[in-house]
Structure formats: structure tokens, C-alpha cells
């Protein structure tokens, strides 16, 4: 047996699995560039279109199989793949490249998708960066068929094993042998990848982002996949194996306990109710929201729609996506955030920025490109007739910016009325409070907005002047910093003084340590990763509002974030 080793990765799918390692190795994929003769061009175009149709058929068959086996929402993961294979802009651009440049079909297709890949990789949003693997999956499917090369598959795995790979696409995961794949380990990818989402739907424990896994693991090694802590344990001894066995049993009991809370309200022991909602980015996540007991969608990110196509999405394409979520969540509320991307990610004319994080992005881009903004607002308003939809603007810095954006909503309503299109005329419009200037003027903003949602991820970075993506200063990123807590408290108070609800949709909402203090500050809604809802609900239900208010009072008097965390740890 090889040496014992513990590797750290990222939690992708919960559960603990034990088995022997199977190394799933896919050869590097090289697409050759060839120039074809004039007489071969139309034949090459037809060859490309035939293969696209074959791939579409395969994707539809896979979707139907998943629909039958797992239900509608996991099957929807393949909707994006089918849409990409049917995207007329992608197909037309590829055909144009074949005809104009006289290049082979696989290379022309590669060049067309390259723009989409670059835009996704440049995104600041980890979820959107994960979509790169979906695009590459389609590219590999189409190119391998064009080149007559077989695609590797886990469908024929002959024995039970833990699959270890550099990367797994959603196709790999969908076609794997269900009885034989005990767990998954990959070097790249994140918890929001479609492969990870599908692994969760299948109930397969998975850990991703395990650097060097394929070099460190040997075929046949005994492997433990701890999908709760993001740990991969190679060749554990008997004592460690027994510890994992006991832990797995304990966690299963905890899951059963939390699952029993799903349909119970998030209500304190003295009768105060709050709303626990979910952050999502793709329609297929709605099923997980409902399974987790979410009382609504507190943050629906819309950036993915703008990055998967080589063109800006049409109003109709946006409407089709928004109404699916609104309809499935109805009558629960769905807060749809307007575009939160930099202009460079949209192919808009913009000079390079030294600091794009503080530059031309989010509502600033929308207000400069009004036609695109109106298109999105119209799509959201049209979806509002099918559910409880709310509009939220990101990165609002003050009243003037919010008022200008709200005026655009009124303009969109006027257009729809003229066209006799149905929408909710009272669709609420809110501001995301993630810039210190917005928090400091929340009293004034509350006169204009219908609701607030505090985005703590950016608020912490802007308030403390720290980039948590910078390893050298990431330790300074602290949601319990006294300045951050004060801004959150004052925003809640400002909202309530004008009778509007206040939610929080950053990672802080899912932090159990933060639950008592946010509850005591008077927060109305907590919006988080759906998986975190049961644990936060349990804390709310065993708390009293009076005790939570005392916790908040004491925390707001503290001078150091470390003291706040120590105190809250004792409270829990």
C-alpha cells in the first residue's frame, strides 16, 4: 500500500465514500487547423451541420434519460448544452468561417467558441467561470465526431471505484456507471459546475479542486472521499476508516433531523418570523431550493445568459429563462438582479481599466447601454405576470443612480403598456447595498426603493479595502469587522424607518455564527446557498428574538472582529 496522505479540495457533493481509485485519463485534445479547397467548402459545411444534428440528438436522448431517472430539474442541466448546439449565431458564425476562411469545420467551430470561453474565463463570478467546462464539453463532442475519434466514457466501468480525474464534464457525469462510481475527485472545477450539480442530484459524494490528485493517486489506492469537508484521504489506516464510518452515520442522522425542518417556518421561540431564501444562477437550481425549504429566491443572478452566447441575449431568450424560475417558485418571491458584469465582458467598446473592480460594471454599464438594459427590464417585467417577481439593481452608489435606473423601469412599463403586453404594474424595485456610499445614505435611498438587499461579499471588500482573491491580504477579509457590522445595522434601521424590508444575500447569510447577530439586528430575510438553509433554520428556531437583540447590542460595542467571532462562538 502507498503512503497515507490527506488532500484538501472543495466540497462539491455531500457524502462519504470509500473505495479503490480509478484514474480516468482523457488525452489532451488537439484540433488541427487545415485549409480546404474551394470545391470542398460546401461539403465541409454540410459535414459540420450533420454532426451538429447528431450531437443534438445525443444531448436530447441524455436529457430524456435523466428526466426519467432523476426528474425535470437535473435534466435541465442539458438544456444549456442543447441550446448551444442549436444557437443560430454560433452555427452561422462557424459556417461563415468555413466559407470565408476555407478552414476545416472542427477548427472553425473551435474559433467560434473561443470568444465565449474567453468571456467566461474573464468573469469575476466563480459560477460563470465554471460554465467554461460546459462550452468545452460541447466543443469536444462536436470536434471528436468531426475527426472520427471516440469520446472517452465512464459508462463501462467494470467494478466499484472512486473516480479520480483532472476534470469531469457534465457528459462524463451523466453517462457514468451509476452502480460502480462510488465517489468523484477532480483537480479542477468548483461546487457550481454542472458536473457537481449533477453529482449532487445523483447522490454521489464529490470533492473538486484537489490539486495534483492525478499525480498523487495510484490506480487501486484506497480512497476516502469526504464530500462534507472537501477532504480526500488516501490509504487511511483502520482507525481512520472507523472514524469515517462513525462520522458518516452521525451526519446521516443530522441530515435526517434538518430535513424534518424543511416545511417548518423560520420562527424564533418567541414567535418572530424571518424568511430564508436562496441564491441561484440557473433554472435547474430551483429544485434544490424547494427541497431545502427556501421561502423564495433572494438573489437570481442573470450574468450567465449574457456570457453563453456570442451575442447579447434577446428579450425573448431572457424572458424564457426568467419565467421558468418565477413560475416554479410561485407564489414565493423571486428577486432578479439586473446585469452585474463589466462592459468588456459584453463585447462593448471599453478601454482597458487598471482596476475594473472599481470601474465600469453593473448598473454603470446598464445606464450607458440603455437598449440592452431596457431589453432586460422588459423581459423581467413580462415574467412578473407569471409569479412574484422583484427587480434589483446591483452596485448602486447613491440616490441619483437608483432614481435613474428606476426611471428606466417606468420607461419599460410604458413600452409594454403601449404594446398591450401583460406585466405586474406593482413589481417591486430594490437596491443592492454593497457599496459603502449606499449604506451611508441608506436613509435617503429607502425613500426611493421598495426593498434593500445587502451584498456583504462586496460590502466587506469595499469597506475594508481588501481583495479576498489576493492571497497576501485575504486574511483581512472579515464580515465581522466592526465597521461592516455597523453599516449592516444602520442599513437595516434605515430600511425599517421607511417601512421597507431588508434582506442580506452575501455569504454571511449562510454563516451560522452570523445568524444570531443578524437576527438581533432585525434582518427580515437571509438569502444563501440552498444547502445552508436547514442549518440556519435550526439556529433561528432555537433562538429567541430578545436574546438575539442582546447579542447584537453587545457585538456592536466591540472593537475587534476576533472578539466578535469568539463571543458568537460561545453564544452558539
Q: What is the CATH number of the domain that holds 185?
A: 3.50.30.10
Q: How many CA atoms lie within 13 Å of 494's alpha carbon, on the beta-carbon side?
A: 25
What per-residue confidence (pLDDT) applies to 356? 57
CATH number at residue 319: 3.20.20.60
- pLDDT per 10-residue tile (average), the chain, 572 residues: 83 88 75 89 93 89 78 68 80 92 92 83 69 81 84 77 85 78 87 72 86 89 91 93 90 84 94 96 83 94 75 88 94 96 56 60 89 96 96 96 97 97 97 97 97 94 80 79 97 98 93 95 95 92 96 96 91 82
Output DSSP code: residue 260.
T
State which of 102, 122, 147 marks the end of a domain: 147
Q: What is the pLDDT of residue 26?
A: 66
Classify residue 420: in a domain, yes or no: yes
Same-domain check for residues 285 and 373:
yes
pLDDT of residue 347: 52
**Residue 347 located in a structural domain:** yes
In this structure, is residue 393 part of a structural domain? yes
Q: Which domain holds residue 177?
A: 5-23+158-239
Rounded to 10°, the helix 315-329/370-384 angle is 30
Q: Could you give the CA distance from residue 63 to residue 200 in angstroms, rounded to a whole number? A: 17
Looking at the fold, whether 422 and 561 belong to one and the same domain comes out as: yes
Q: What is the pLDDT of residue 357?
A: 59
For residue 38, give every residue at least 6 positions away whose Cβ sits within 8 Å of its Cβ, in sequence order, or none.
Answer: 102
CA dist 302 and 430 (Å) reads: 16
- pLDDT at 310 (0 to 100): 58
Same domain, 302 and 328: yes
Do 137 and 172 lie in a common domain? no
549 and 429 within one domain:
yes
Q: Could you give the residue numbers annotated as active site?
A: 194, 505
419 and 500 both lie in a single domain: yes
Q: CA–CA distance from 182 to each of 4, 196, 241, 261 (Å)?
A: 20, 14, 16, 29
One domain for residues 403 and 453: yes
Distance CA 13, CA 182 (A): 12
CA distances from 503 to 223, 386, 397, 457, 491 (A): 42, 23, 18, 14, 10
Instruction: Report the candidate in 244, 215, 217, 200 with the shortest Cα–Cα distance to residue 161.
Output: 217
pLDDT of residue 259: 84
- Report the alpha-carbon distance of residue 312 to residue 10 in Å, rounded: 32
User: Total domain count for the chain?
Assistant: 3
The answer to whether the CB of 439 falls within 8 A of the CB of 491 is yes
Amino acid at each position: 500500500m502507498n503512503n497515507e496522505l490527506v488532500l484538501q479540495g472543495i466540497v462539491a457533493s455531500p457524502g462519504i465514500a470509500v473505495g479503490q481509485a480509478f484514474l480516468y485519463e482523457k488525452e489532451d485534445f488537439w484540433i488541427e487547423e487545415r485549409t480546404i479547397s474551394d470545391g470542398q467548402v460546401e461539403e465541409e459545411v454540410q459535414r459540420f451541420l450533420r454532426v451538429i444534428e447528431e450531437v443534438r440528438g445525443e444531448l436530447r436522448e441524455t436529457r430524456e434519460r435523466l428526466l426519467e431517472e432523476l426528474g425535470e430539474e437535473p435534466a435541465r442541466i442539458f438544456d444549456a448544452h442543447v441550446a448551444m448546439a442549436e444557437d443560430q449565431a454560433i452555427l452561422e458564425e462557424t459556417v461563415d468561417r468555413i466559407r470565408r476562411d476555407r478552414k476545416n469545420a472542427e477548427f472553425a467551430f473551435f474559433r467560434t467558441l473561443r470568444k465565449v470561453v474567453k468571456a467566461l474565463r474573464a468573469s469575476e463570478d466563480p459560477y460563470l467561470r465554471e460554465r467554461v467546462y460546459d462550452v468545452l464539453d460541447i466543443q469536444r463532442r462536436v470536434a471528436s465526431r468531426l475527426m472520427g475519434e471516440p469520446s472517452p466514457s465512464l459508462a463501462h466501468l467494470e467494478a466499484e471505484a472512486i473516480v479520480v480525474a483532472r476534470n469531469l464534464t457534465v457528459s462524463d457525469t451523466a453517462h457514468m456507471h451509476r452502480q460502480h462510481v462510488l465517489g468523484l475527485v477532480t483537480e479542477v472545477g468548483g461546487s457550481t459546475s454542472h458536473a457537481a450539480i449533477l453529482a449532487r442530484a445523483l447522490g454521489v459524494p464529490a470533492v473538486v479542486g484537489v490539486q495534483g490528485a492525478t499525480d498523487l493517486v495510484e490506480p487501486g489506492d484506497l480512497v476516502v472521499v469526504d464530500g462534507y469537508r472537501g477532504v480526500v484521504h488516501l490509504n487511511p489506516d483502520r482507525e481512520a476508516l472507523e472514524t469515517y464510518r462513525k462520522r458518516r452515520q452521525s451526519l446521516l442522522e443530522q441530515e435526517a433531523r434538518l430535513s424534518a425542518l424543511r416545511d417548518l417556518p423560520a420562527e424564533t421561540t418567541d414567535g418572530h418570523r424571518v424568511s430564508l431564501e436562496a441564491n441561484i444562477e440557473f433554472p435547474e437550481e430551483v429544485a434544490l431550493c424547494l427541497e431545502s425549504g427556501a421561502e423564495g429566491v433572494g438573489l437570481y443572478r442573470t450574468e450567465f445568459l449574457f456570457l453563453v452566447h456570442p451575442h447579447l441575449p434577446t428579450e425573448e431568450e431572457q424572458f424564457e429563462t426568467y419565467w421558468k424560475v418565477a413560475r416554479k417558485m410561485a407564489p414565493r418571491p423571486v428577486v432578479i438582479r439586473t446585469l452585474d458584469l463589466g462592459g468588456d465582458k459584453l463585447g462593448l467598446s471599453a478601454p482597458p481599466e487598471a482596476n475594473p473592480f472599481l470601474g465600469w460594471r453593473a448598473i454603470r454599464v446598464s445606464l450607458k447601454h440603455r437598449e440592452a438594459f431596457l431589453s432586460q427590464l422588459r423581459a423581467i417585467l413580462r415574467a412578473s405576470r407569471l409569479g412574484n417577481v422583484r427587480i434589483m439593481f446591483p452596485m448602486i452608489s447613491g440616490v441619483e443612480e437608483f432614481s435613474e435606473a428606476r426611471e428606466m423601469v417606468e420607461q419599460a412599463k410604458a413600452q409594454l403598456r403601449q404594446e398591450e403586453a401583460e406585466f405586474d404594474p406593482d413589481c417591486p424595485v430594490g437596491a443592492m447595498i454593497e457599496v459603502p456610499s449606499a449604506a451611508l445614505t441608506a436613509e435617503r435611498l429607502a425613500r426611493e426603493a421598495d426593498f434593500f438587499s445587502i451584498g456583504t461579499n462586496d460590502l466587506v471588500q469595499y469597506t475594508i479595502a481588501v481583495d479576498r482573491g489576493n492571497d497576501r491580504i485575504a486574511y483581512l477579509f472579515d464580515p465581522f469587522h466592526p465597521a461592516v457590522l455597523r453599516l449592516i445595522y444602520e442599513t437595516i434601521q434605515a430600511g425599517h424607518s421607511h417601512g421597507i424590508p431588508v434582506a442580506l444575500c452575501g455569504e454571511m447569510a449562510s454563516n451560522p455564527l452570523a445568524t444570531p447577530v443578524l437576527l438581533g439586528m432585525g434582518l427580515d430575510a437571509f438569502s444563501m446557498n440552498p444547502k445552508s438553509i436547514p442549518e440556519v433554520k435550526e439556529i433561528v428556531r432555537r433562538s429567541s428574538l430578545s436574546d438575539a437583540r442582546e447579542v447584537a447590542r453587545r457585538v456592536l460595542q466591540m472593537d475587534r472582529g476576533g472578539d466578535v467571532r469568539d463571543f458568537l462562538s460561545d453564544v452558539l
